[in-house]
């Protein structure tokens, strides 16, 4: 199994954040979590050399997940990104233009198998990957 030194998971919904953390830790990944984008930026500064994957919710404030990913990938071009969201269709597409680098998109709710499959595929950040019960382009 391809492992990352560390995965940063960001979600403002505590249940979703804890669920993703638990799945990833149980699978053997090292995980740091943040409940908002500002905390994520602070964690990134603390662990920047160790972080290889960002998993972030799309709809958050004061900045959204796309803006967070844009800031972090400007600092680290090799950082892979997986967006997660309960939004689909037009709601999800309103964020699409805010992130210029292709990334994976995982539709909530998702299974632990779907999350882990996305993580395993993530070392190639330039490939667009989508996994959900409803296929969605992001």
CA–CA dist 132, 33 (Å, integer):
23
pLDDT tens figures, 67-109:
999 999 999 888 999 999 887 655 555 555 555 667 888 889 9
pTM of the model: 0.81
pLDDT score recorded for residue 39: 96
Residue 125: band (very low, low, confident or very high) from pLDDT cuts 50, 70, 90: very low
Domains of the chain: 6-131 (3.40.50.2300)
């Amino acid at each position: 199994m391809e492992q990352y030194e560390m995965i940063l998971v960001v979600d403002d919904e505590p249940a979703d954040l804890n669920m993703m953390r638990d799945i990833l830790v149980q699978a053997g990944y090292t995980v740091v979590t943040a409940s908002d984008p500002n905390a994520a930026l602070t964690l990134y500064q603390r662990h920047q050399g160790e972080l290889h994957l960002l998993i972030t919710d799309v709809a958050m404030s004061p900045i959204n997940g796309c803006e967070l990913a844009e800031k972090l990938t400007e600092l680290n071009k090799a950082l892979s990104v997986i967006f997660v969201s309960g939004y689909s269709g037009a709601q999800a597409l309103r964020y699409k233009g805010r992130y210029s680098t292709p990334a994976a998109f995982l539709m909530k709710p998702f299974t632990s198998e779907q999350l882990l499959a996305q993580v395993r595929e993530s070392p190639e950040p330039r490939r667009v990957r989508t996994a959900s019960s409803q296929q969605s382009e992001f």
